[in-house]
Amino acid sequence: MNNLDQAAINEKVFSTDDILEFLWVLLTIPNPVNDIRLSEKYRGDEAFQKITDYLLDLRELSNALSRGDLEKLVYSKGYILSNLKALQSNLRHMTWQTEKIAEGDFSQKIDFLGKFSESFNKMTEELQNFSERLTTQATVDQLTQLPNRHFLMPFLSKCFERFLRDREDFTVMIVDIDHFKKVNDRYGHDAGDKVLADLSRLLNAKFRSSDVFTRYGGEEFLAVLINTNIEAAKIVAERVRKAAGDTPIYLSDDVSISITVISVGISQTESSDLHFDSIIKRSDTALYTAKSNGRNQVVAM
């Protein structure tokens, strides 16, 4: 029967004796059957028509699934079609989950497709890990392992939103290593990098876990002190300045240097501020004043 010619099938009148052949044809031939003629006995048989409709719906739905069409509707009911409809529903849901993953939601997991679910979930976990590594690389300064500007700006934006909404003050502190060029000129750039890395760890330890200490550029660092007024920030700034001067940095077992000159500028949120840039500019101006006044000091504005 697998070798039946399509045209011959369409011309054939199926009798009682070969009705099973007719059903077999519906299940196995590759193209839809439109013109098959039945013997008189079966043309108006309701039960036989239900079987025929069921098999035609089965053909339609299975064909749609094989082509990736997940929107095909069929109205017959029954065990096999119910299984296919469940598969269709699961695939639709998985398509939605895949779209969410593409948007960055890596929490999506599936558990309804056996071994495929395991592979899908493993893929999602790998994508999440890869995304986290990319985010870390993009927002962390590779030399000092401090957050960089890519992290700082969105963070400041959120802090400023809280300030506008809840009047939760914060302070911006800019720290600069004075005469850092002399370190590079005397000891070389590798030594300068070590000074930056070691000093970053030293200074970062002087802030609270809720504060953010970042590499702002070159030998400049910027700290955001959450829920902190300018008087409290001055105390932290003096602690930072003193820690730098009191702690030698070893370039080798027998060579160490002390960074004894650090200038710090700080500024607090003000009611007239329209953007966090205003706070940074005041802190930067305070830093410039500290340098102009002889360096190694804290200036607040």
Q: Give how far the C-alpha of residue 58 lies from the chain's centroid of Cα atoms, to the nearest Å.
A: 41
Per-residue model confidence (pLDDT) at position 273:
95
**106 forms bridges with which residues in the sheet?**
none
Please calculate the CA angle 272-277-280 and round it to the nearest 5 degrees: 100
Rounded Cα distance between 82 and 70, Å, is 14
**Range from 43-47, 152-156, 241-245, 249-253 carrying the lowest mean pLDDT:** 43-47
Residue 15 pLDDT: 55
Contact 250, 199 (CB under 8 A): no
Domain boundaries in the chain?
A: 149-300
- The residues, ordered by sequence, that sit 6+ positions from 62 with a Cβ below 8 Å of its Cβ are 84
- Give the pLDDT score at 11: 52
Please pick, among 60, 99, 118, 219, the residue that the annotation labels catalytic. Answer: 219
Q: pLDDT category, 3, cuts 50, 70, 90? A: very low
149-300: CATH topology is Alpha-Beta Plaits (3.30.70)
Q: Has 46 been annotated as catalytic? A: no
Average pLDDT of the chain is 87
Give dist(CA 264, CA 203) in Å, integer.
12
Give the mean model confidence (pLDDT) for residues 60-66. Answer: 92
Distances (CA, A) of 282 to 99, 238, 252, 292: 45, 18, 39, 15
pLDDT digits (tens, 9 = 90+) for 130-175: 888 887 788 999 999 999 999 999 999 999 999 999 999 999 999 9
